[in-house]
Amino acid sequence: MNGEHVYAWQKFTDKMDKLIEMNHKDLLNPYEIEKQIGILSDDLKRLFEHHNIKLNSAWDIAKIKRKKDFKTLYKLHFQQRLSLNEIYRQYGYSQLYVKRVFKEHGLEHLGFVNQNK
């Protein structure tokens, strides 16, 4: 850059498309991107700000994932009548996670008496 100072985040400008894909499509949070690419999360934030692009935080990513999972979890629990234990055993969603997803949509899980069916 012709003797100009180069900030750490500027070294990753050529990877911008990949970084956006990782954050917006693959739903990796800044710390996961940091581990994979080697850019510090603070530098990642500056890079996204420089390009006027929203960087989804870990909290944002979790909320997006819960929103995406709602239809699947609703179908499994309310339509297929699977208990929270069965959803965990068959699909890996924890009971606390399922309850939180339903709560965010104003629903309560069905209180099955026999959780082993």
What digits encode the pLDDT tens for the residues 19-35? 999 999 999 999 999 99
Q: What is the mean pLDDT of residues 48-55?
A: 96
Answer yes or no: do 16 and 47 share one domain: yes
- DSSP string of 63-109? HHHHHHHHHHHHIIIIIS---HHHHHHHH---HHHHHHHHHHTT---
For 56-83, write each residue's pLDDT tens digit.
999 999 999 999 999 999 999 999 999 9
pLDDT at 10: 83
Write down the pLDDT at residue 117: 47
pLDDT at 116: 52
How many whole angstroms separate alpha carbon 110 and alpha carbon 55? 36
Percentage of the chain exceeding pLDDT 70? 93
Q: Is residue 116 part of a domain?
A: no
Residues 15 and 50 in one domain: yes
Residue 115 in domain: no
Assess whether 18 and 41 both reside in one domain: yes
**Contact status, residue 50 vs residue 7, Cβ threshold 8 Å:** no
